[in-house]
Structure 1
Amino acid sequence: MGLDFSVIPKYLDIVLLGALWTIAITVCAAVVSFFGGILLAVIALFAPALVRWPFRVFSFLFLGTPLLLQLFLIYFGLVQIGVDVPAFVAGVVGLGLHFVVYNSDLFQTSILAVDKGQIEAARTLGLSRWQALRKVVVPQAVRDVIPPIGNNMIALLKDSALVSVIGVSELTLSAQRAIGSTYRPFEFYVLVAAIYYIINLVMEAVLRRVERRIQASK
């Protein structure tokens, strides 16, 4: 039958709307995973055992199960116990919590690399242990871990396509709906690949700029 890219303009608005949803999900989940990763890292390293162990179980569960299953449990499973989570929120929570665990490992390594003498110096200045962590240790750890965290954010963008299985009209699902009307999968999947690539390039450019600013501030 050959290729016919002339069918794309008619459905371009649908695909671009899906791209906006993809960006929104990625940004929201990235925020959850970033700050959640810091919190989980601090708890894993410094909280009492009674508090630390439940979070270790949480980490084990999210590391040991597929993201797709986690999305199903949040969206389809919670409703059975009376918690009806909207598809978009379920996607953000699922993606965010999945990457919280990976980010937490990075933050833990970076926090442990900070010179312990800085905590002692902060304590001598009258700061409590938690104030020293919040004002001295964690900011340094965050600066050092930005590059690998950036790689996780790019992986998060790619994994955001999985939220299509719970009905979120992100980029991939929007393209599939256009394909259902035109029976032109190759043309629309090429378009989707190009859009993902452009978003990826923008994210990499932003991350590089952040890294340069951090290096300049050291």
Structure 2
Amino acid sequence: MTLDFSILLPYIPMLLAGAWFTVKASLCSVVLGSAFGLIVGAIRVVPFAPVRGLAATYIYVIRGTPLLVQLFLIYFGLPSLGINLPAFVAGIIGLGINSSGYVGEIVRGGIEAVPKGQWEASKMLGLSYLKSMRYIILPQAIRSMLPAIGNEFVTLIKESSLLSTLAITELTMAGQQVRSVTYASFETFIAVGIIYLCLTSSTSFALQLLEKRWSTR
């Protein structure tokens, strides 16, 4: 079998546009997932057991069900309740919610890694639980959480390929469109895979630089 990648040259702009959309979708999703996951993770360590249980149940359900099912529930299921979301919005919410389950556990682990003496010191200063968390615990926990949250961003770049099931023209869907025109399935998806590899590799490299700068402060 002879591979002919030259057939893809006219469609490179289409693939790059899909890659750019993938980056935007992943970035929006990781911001949403990190914000919500931070809340869920903080709730996981509150002194009130029933509240901790709710957060733990949320994480258990989100991490225990497939992302594709969650996307379908949001995009195809919510209209039956009278809630109609654009495909892009539904996709971002789905990816963000799924990510929040993993970020929540990352946050919990980061908070619990902070020495207990820091909590005791904050109590001696007369700080409330929320102020202790905001000004003392979280700033220290973020250092240990950053690598794992970075890995979650890389994972989201790959998982964003599932947005193609909602007819969103991200990189995978762009690849499918190119394949339908060129009939060059092997060449097309090799190219798509290389683009994903470039995206994840560059993101990992940038995150490593960020971690090094953070650790030197």
* TM-score category of the 2 structures, normalised to the smaller one: over 0.9
2:83 — aligned with what?
83
The answer to whether the Cα contact below 8 Å between 2:29 and 2:93 also exists between their aligned partners in 1 is: yes
Q: Aligned AA for 2:89? A: V
Deviation at 1:13, TM superposition (A): 1.5
1:14 is aligned with what amino acid?
M
- Where structure 2 has 5 or more consecutive residues not aligned to the other structure, the ranges are none
What is the alpha-carbon distance in structure 2 between the residues aligned to residue 126 and residue 58 of structure 1?
A: 32
Number of matched residues?
Answer: 217
1:42 paired with 2:42, answer: yes
Is 1:132 matched up with 2:154?
no
Deviation string for 1:16-51 (max 9, x for gaps)? 111111001110111112222211011111163454
CA distance in 2, matches of 1:13, 1:67: 29
Corresponding residue number in structure 1 for 2:32: 32
Q: Which amino acid aligns with 1:46?
A: V
Secondary structure of the residue aligned to 1:83 is coil
**Alignment RMSD, CA only?**
1.6
Partner of 1:94: 94
- For residues 73-130 of structure 1, the C-alpha deviation after alignment (integer angstroms, 9 at most, x for no partner) is 0110011111111111111111111121111112111211211221222233332211
> How high is the sequence identity, in percent, across the aligned residues?
38
Residue by residue over 1:143-178, the C-alpha shift from the partner in whole angstroms, topping out at 9 and shown as x without a partner, is 112112222221111111011101111000011001
For residues 63 and 4 of structure 2, the distance between their equivalents in structure 1, rounded to whole angstroms, comes to 43
Q: Secondary structure at the match of 1:45?
A: coil
Q: Which amino acid aligns with 2:10?
A: K
Query: Structure 1 pair 55/204, CA: closer, same or farther in 2 (3 Å)?
Result: same
Q: What corresponds to 2:156 in structure 1?
A: 156
Which sits farther off after the overlay, 147-156 or 82-91?
A: 147-156
Task: List 4+ stretches of structure 1 deviating above 6 A.
Answer: none
Distance, in Å, in 2 between the alignment partners of 1:91 and 1:17 is 18
How many Å separate the matches in 2 of 1:147 and 1:175? 31
Q: Aligned partners of 1:53 and 1:124: how far apart in 2? A: 28
Q: Which residue in 2 is equivalent to 1:166?
A: 166
In structure 2, how many angstroms separate the alpha carbons of the residues matched to 1:57 and 1:89?
25
Q: TM-score, normalised by structure 2?
A: 0.94
| Structure 2 equivalent of residue 209 of structure 1 | 209
CA contact (8 A) 2:172 2:192 kept: yes
Amino acid at match of 1:72: F
Structure-1-length-normalised TM-score = 0.93
